[in-house]
Amino acid sequence: MDDYPSTGLPRLDLDLDRYLVPFSLRQVPQYRYDVIVVGSGAAGSFAALSAAEAGASVAVIAKDEVGRTNTSWAQGGVAAVLGPSDSIDAHVADTLAVGCGLSNPDVTRRVVAGGPDSIQRLLDLGAKFDSKPDGSFDLSMEGGHSHARILHARGDATGAEIQGTLSRALENHPSVDVFPHVFGVDVLTGDDGRAVGLLARDNRGELVAYGSSQVVLATGGGGQIYRETTNPTIATADGVAMGLRAGASVRDLEFVQFHPTCLYIAGAARVLISEIVRGAGGILRDRSGHRFMPDAHPDAELAPRDIVSREVSRRMVETGSTSIGLDLSAIDRDPHVAFPGISRICRFFGIDIAKDPIPVRPGCHYMVGGLSVDAEGRTTVPGLWAVGECSSTGLHGANRMGSNSLLEGVVLGEVVGQLAARDAAASGRPEIRSVSGRKHDPAPPGVQVNIADLTYSMKSMMWRQMGVERSDGPMREALGTFAFWSRAVGSLPLDTDNAVELVNMLTVARLATFSALARTESRGTHFRTDYPDRNDQDWCAHLEQVPLRGPSGAVDRVEFRREPVATSDAHGSVSA
């Protein structure tokens, strides 16, 4: 890693292959569509349905079952202005305040204003949300929100309700073909750099090519780059890595949101304990029973997630404990009825949530940064779009406000789908071409790399060196180790999904660590113990990483560009 004398920003050498897997058109089956959507969560489903209704033929590429996505795991809800005392202005102001100066006011207003129509769209498709006896929506509070505007379903199963609704709509739409258990490997581009399709691997391990002038990446996040995460195993940052190899810029990867309350029982999978539990009156207590959040923030347990996560981590260190207790005994309704999913999981481990504190600790929850897109979802590669968690739209800024992610996915997914269909009609269907082999030399005979061990080591290093709190020395150490591991993995034949996932995770882990090292301040989810203060004079800007290619087409390095943003106060007024 070197510094550019003119900017003071670092440069990172990547030596990243343009394509991970070679293929010949004579041996690989091809499918042609107007629009290809990679990912079947809320953002991808809305994009696909919107494109299909605009007249496009659409292929949806799902890495797992169509319904197994980050969306389906979302317990909390979707934020929208639906209550009589709430307003678009209030929701915008809350989002800008939590975004710590990096949220784009125009994008924020567009997403927030589109919320009610998107909720109506879900209702029209058959979604059922929790309501009061009078028939009005039963809206709840979450951290950072000034009003009760969180719409949920079956208490803590909002994501499952939305995903099920959208999955049924996809399966029933005559212009949408869904391909489950197909793993997107690389975005294909033509000689002019435009997207021309997708190379994928099906559930038999065979390569397949999908040709289209419009490719929408809606692959979700990359929580699996961390040892502790709320994300499902499929969340391996594939979209960001694929987009980067195709030439797309990425932005703000240093901002990773940690959810403060993940169920922590040794040997058990980490399970998210939704923020709606704290919204209903759940209290965080340390091992001595002390409620510590009122001492840290006026909003106590409903402070923004980055603040709660840091306080939970610090209290764990101070008390020498592996978890903190989440106490539901004082909430004003039966927690077993209010949160049946959480109750069922905890009961399996012998925890009665009505009287026993739930052991929790932070876990990686959401990638705030991602592929850099404009206001309409276009990446820097023509014909390549990104929406949902793998994108960086400018909505979340430096910290995502709870339940705004589902809102972003459904609102902007519809926009992206409509525009991609329009562009497809104007562009036609381009030709794809064979892809030559990788440029890395194979490993010497007898040398083996243990994919599972290396993956766990990477996840552990990210948790230690790039977790809730960071500093210069450990991050530099991590970058050196990641570079070493990347060279080792580069010698492998990437003939399994796990091997490709490891390349993707290592790529994004390096970029995120690199970006965190460059941003010498603390803001939102990015907290550096060596630079603990926010620095608006130098750092009220996005950090965009631009891939630079060598003669072979490989991404040899990335360089930074600072992208200044309009500043806004808590009420949404904007200044240059």
Q: Where are the chain's structural domains?
A: 30-255+368-427, 257-364
Can 305 be counted among the known catalytic residues?
Answer: yes
Structure tokens at 461: 């290093």
Class of domain 257-364: alpha beta
Q: How far apart are CA 490 and CA 449, in angstroms?
A: 10
Phi, psi of 463 (to 5 degrees): -65, -40
The amino acid sitting at 106 is D
In DSSP terms, 547 is beta-bridged to 558
Element (DSSP H or E) covering residue 93: helix 88-98
Inter-helix orientation angle 115-125/105-113, to 10°: 30
Question: Do 58 and 92 contact (CB within 8 A), yes or no?
Answer: no
- Contacts of residue 542, Cβ cutoff 8 Å, sequence gap at least 6: 102, 251, 252, 372, 392, 394, 562, 563, 565
For residue 385, give the H/E element and its range: strand 384-386
- Three-state DSSP at 568 gives strand
In total, the chain counts a number of residues equal to: 576
Nearest to 424 by CA among 385, 387, 374, 383: 383
Determine the Cα–Cα distance for residues 291 and 327; give it in Å rounded to an integer: 10
Phi, psi of 454 (to 5 degrees): -65, -40
Report, at the CATH architecture level, how domain 30-255+368-427 is classified.
3-Layer(bba) Sandwich (3.50)
Tell me which residue has tokens 């930074």.
560
Cα 363 to Cα 17: distance, rounded to the nearest angstrom: 31
Q: Would you put residue 388 in left (φ > 0), alpha (ψ -120 to 50) or beta?
A: left
**pLDDT tens, N- to C-terminus, the chain (576 residues):** 454 333 456 678 888 889 999 888 889 999 999 999 999 999 999 999 999 999 999 999 999 887 677 675 666 689 999 988 999 999 999 999 999 999 999 999 999 999 999 999 999 999 999 999 998 999 988 878 899 999 988 876 788 889 999 999 999 999 999 999 999 999 999 999 999 999 999 999 999 999 999 999 999 999 999 999 988 899 999 999 999 999 999 999 999 999 999 988 876 667 788 777 888 899 999 999 999 999 999 989 988 888 899 999 999 999 998 899 999 988 888 999 888 888 888 898 889 999 999 999 999 999 999 999 999 999 999 999 999 999 999 999 999 988 899 999 999 999 999 999 999 999 988 889 888 866 666 667 766 778 999 999 999 999 999 999 999 999 999 999 999 999 888 878 888 999 999 999 999 999 999 999 999 999 999 999 999 999 999 999 999 999 998 877 888 888 888 888 865 443 333 332
What are the Cα distances from residue 456, in Å, to 179, 191, 240, 460? 29, 38, 20, 6
Catalytic entry in 305, 315, 400, 557: 305
Q: How far, in Å, CA of 241 to CA of 219, rounded? A: 11
